A and B are shown apart, each in its own frame.
Chain A
Amino acid sequence: MDQSRRELMQAIGGALVASALPRAVRAGAGGIPARVVVIGGGFAGATAAKYLRLWGGGIRVTLIEPNAEFVSCPMSNRVLVGRTSIADLTHGYGDLVVRHGVRVVRDTANDIDAGNRSVTLASGKTLGYDHLVVAPGLDLDYSAIPGLVLESARGDILHAWKVGEQIISLRRQLEAMPDGGVFAITIPKAPYRCPPGPYERACQVAWYLRERKPKSKVLILDANEKVASKEALFRKAWADLYPRIVEYVPNSELVDVDVATRTAKLQFDDVKADVLNVIPPMKAAALAARAGLITANDKWCGVDFLTYESTVRKNIHVLGDAILAAPLMPKSAHMANQQAKVCAAAIIALVSGETVNPAPIINNTCYSFVTATEAMHIASVHAYDADQKQMLPIPGSGGLSAAPSEAEGRYAEGWAQNIWSDTLG
């Protein structure tokens, strides 16, 4: 860019922000820097904390997270084909502290007092805030699966839908499965976290079985009436790559499980498996309900998409998988990271008296692996629609890969690396 243009842009930029910046620093009562507390250090919460500091001048940001380290759900299905490990998926919160000046507190938020603007932690401490960001993630909801309601009764029926030990245990179950065995995976009705994730998992398991135990089967028991994401691409992958292995059964809502015999009970059928992987229904984590943030179906938190402020609690912003998403807005890491940046920008505007961006744009991209090396994407870009108060896809944009490829396999890994660093680095 030529010099005159750069100077012009800087002059314009400078003039527009000059009056706002000092205000950001001394926002809050009586010139005290504004205090933002962020609950939850996943993709949504960690990104919000980072960007509040990166863009927000002197805003004081405290991140409450019970786990010592961040473990990524995206890429975790790759553990099943031996292409990644929990160590690769694990990242520290250190850069948020050292590079960005976020105060990271290892604790659990127990309660929110919206009236007094304070959060009570498990340790008994209380933190006051000017704005609160709640990014609590999801709870797995076993209430409709009687045999699995009690955690102690779940035996070797894994979900592996929150990262950690379970994905490693699932890999061990696969290793122990006899050739000719059945791996059954059950998928809840949408919306759930990571729409293409269960189908990707089926592909990864099928790839492993094709290599090691080719007489085996992968049975996909889907409560939905059709594949909830990338339907044509997944159908083609199963037909072309794993024709004798994968069987897809739609409209198969799980009604119960017999843990001892690893039997999935459907409405009209019982399916006995050697490995039974139950992905249960989901809802916003319990904290959201305790804080009165649930507005839809007893499950999700309604928000204003300009600020991510709760539609029912002032100065409390909700992000990530816990929100009632707009149509076609998946519960994904990419979305959570995008929402968090819009929210951070809005909070900064609110505390410094600037205008909140009236026309935010966010996007999503979910990569799915169909073999150990080949991946495909679904992408969408959404703009705020002031009439509908929704984030709507921008006409002409977005879409799906024409076919899976190794090039996209490499980009998928590159995406993971960059989104981890955009969130935490």
Chain B
Amino acid sequence: MRRVAVLGCSLATLLLTSLCEGAEPDPHPGRYLAANCTGCHGTQGRSTGAIPAIAGLDRTVIVEAMRAFRSGDRPATVMHQHAKAYSEAQIELLADYFAAQKPL
């Protein structure tokens, strides 16, 4: 229930911002944002090497990992550099995308 509320807010913001700017909302925001990650994590997050696969991870696991990388609570070699670039709403979109992908 809580999550639906959060989603409602972020969607509202998204739609409102776009309406204010007179542009249509980007129809594939999750997919395009996720393309940032796939050079390292593999297309659709299906990594085959040392970097962890993220396809099909639970969305809360992804959201919490990204928040912890961002805050520094979770030590990382490189993810802190990337996680700090994304807002809460963008992290949710990323998590939705990767949670919905089939793992290898």
Contact = CB atoms under 8 A, between A and B. Distances in A.
Contact of A411 (B27, B33, B51, B96): B51
Nearest to A362: B36
A418 B82 contact: no
Given A345-B28, A397-B84, A410-B50, A418 B35 contact: no
6 contacts: A345-B35, A358-B21, A362-B36, A379-B81, A379-B82, A422-B38
A416 B51 CA distance: 10
Nearest to B62: A1
Given A361-B33, A399-B81, A411-B77, A355 B24 contact: yes
A17 B28 contact: yes
A398 interface: yes
Contacts, number: 136
Contacts of A418: 38-42, 47-49, 51
Given A357-B26, A379-B78, A381-B82, A5 B39 contact: no
Contacts of B51: 411, 414-415, 418
A140 interface: no
Given A6-B100, A394-B85, A411-B78, A422 B11 contact: no
Contacts of B35: 51, 338, 341-342, 345
B91 interface: no
Interface string A189-213: 0000000000000000000000000
Contacts of A396: 84-85
A408 interface: yes
Interface core residue of A9, A354, A380, A425 (most chain B CB under 10 Å):
A9
B43 A401 contact: no
A416 B39 CA distance: 8
Contact of B39 (A17, A410, A411, A422): A422
Interface in A221-245: none
A405 B50 CA distance: 14
Interface in B47-96: 47-51, 58-60, 77-78, 81-82, 84-85, 96
Interface of A: 1-2, 4-6, 8-9, 12-13, 16-17, 20, 51, 54-55, 334, 337-338, 341-342, 345, 354-355, 357-363, 365, 377, 379-381, 383, 394, 396-399, 401, 405, 407-408, 410-411, 413-419, 421-422, 425
A398 B81 contact: yes
Contacts of A355: 23-24, 26-27
Contact of A421 (B26, B27, B28, B43): B43
B85 A345 contact: no
A54 B101 CA distance: 14
A421 B77 contact: no
A345 to B, nearest CB: 6
Contacts of B43: 54, 421-422, 425
B4 A415 contact: no
Interface core residue of B25, B38, B84 (most chain A CB under 10 Å):
B38
Contacts of A410: 50
Contacts of A405: 77
Contacts of A397: 81-82, 84-85
A419 B49 CA distance: 11
A415 B3 contact: no
B27 A20 contact: yes
A229 B24 CA distance: 40
Nearest to B34: A341
Nearest to A407: B77
Nearest to A344: B35
A9 B43 CA distance: 21
B31 interface: yes
Contacts of B11: 12
A410 B50 CA distance: 6
A419 B47 CA distance: 10
B27 A354 contact: yes
A203 B84 CA distance: 30
B16 interface: no
